[in-house]
Structure 1
Amino acid sequence: MLEACSLTCSKRDRTLFEGLSLAVNAGELLYLRGPNGAGKTSLLRILTGLSTPDAGSVLYNGADIADDKFIFHRDLFYLGHKSGTNGSLSALDNLAFWLAQHRVTASTQTLYDVLEKVGLVGLEDVPVRYLSAGQQRRVALSRLWLKPAKVWILDEPFTALDVKGVQMLEASMKEHVANGGMIITTSHQPLSDIAGSHRTFDLEYRF
């Protein structure tokens, strides 16, 4: 279980949310909705441990992630609304560098297999800056199939994807939840058909 307990977050003298609590269990998808500026990305960053709340705590399996992030981060895959790739490196080199950062081992053949899965065969050695926005997003999404994470936190994961890319990601999200994984995501893509067991959490813009 991943729990947010009475979280408060302020930015530039404006309170985005306060006293916010939620919980996600194995086999569930939580769809986080709200207008621009409501604090969706800020909340996701707090849930990953990348940002610190003004008040409250985040628990993973009952333990505060602030006390020891290692176990949680070992089980976490986070995709920000930006691709988080180095434009000077190829897709292959970007993935190899990311794996080293996260202490995940994968063979070169596995990298090629994943890049084939996301439709980037023939482009694996091209610097990422020369790829389209959708192709760059596919490079970022390739990491999903390289790290055996239980918790997926995804910020607008469908951004720049074409119909085939959306279908591929939807299928992976369904499979992850069906296998007992947890997903927290923001999206402009309707999620009614993505997972049978999903809930919606709405954030309101606070003036």
Structure 2
Amino acid sequence: MSQGTMLVDTYRSEGIRRVKLVFTDIDGVMRGKYISLDKFSGVAEGVSGFCDCVLGWDVNDQLYDNAEFTGWHTAFPDALYRIDLNTERRLKEEGDIPLFLAEFVSEDDRPHPICPRSRLQSVIAKANALGFQSHMAFEYEFFVFKETAQSAADKGYRNLIPLTPGNFGYSALRTFTLSDLFNELMDYCEDHDLPLESVHCETGPGVWEAAI
């Protein structure tokens, strides 16, 4: 029995009705959609199509005016994609439905020429062929604001109110007063198989740092 068939059988036995697919666009933003379990069953071991506009626009869905691969001149056709079945994550806040990463592929099933995930895999494969091994770790510094998506948009993304004022790098007191939020973030990441090594306040109003 294939891996895809086993996954579908497991989901049906659990009452799972749909799956979430996500792709990496040309700027590294996660794009995606829900698909029915029947649709997933039909494409889990093969390929399907997804509009290649995500390879020709920016983070604000504005088309790049110098793109050659896709655009109005190509009519934004579907690009073939393949699901990486080894990337399954269960979304705890969505009834435990599965999430999978997908990657674009060429018509001959070779790596896609500009799919970020495919390009990264190609670079890693070349390094391995030369006897090198890649070891990567990520550290993110980011701002946390006391805003909603709507309030930030209403302000034109200017003069946003930070979660906390002042500079408090590595502040233990801030982690005490905001312990619910810190622990919620770490628990959420761990529940989705993205454990954080550490999280702390960084220098700057509302600035945090997380090490994956």
Q: TM-score, normalised by structure 1?
A: 0.24
Q: TM-score, normalised by structure 2?
A: 0.24
- Kindly indicate whether structure 1 or structure 2 has the higher relative contact order, using CA contacts under 8 Å at least 6 residues apart: 1
Greater Rg by CA:
2
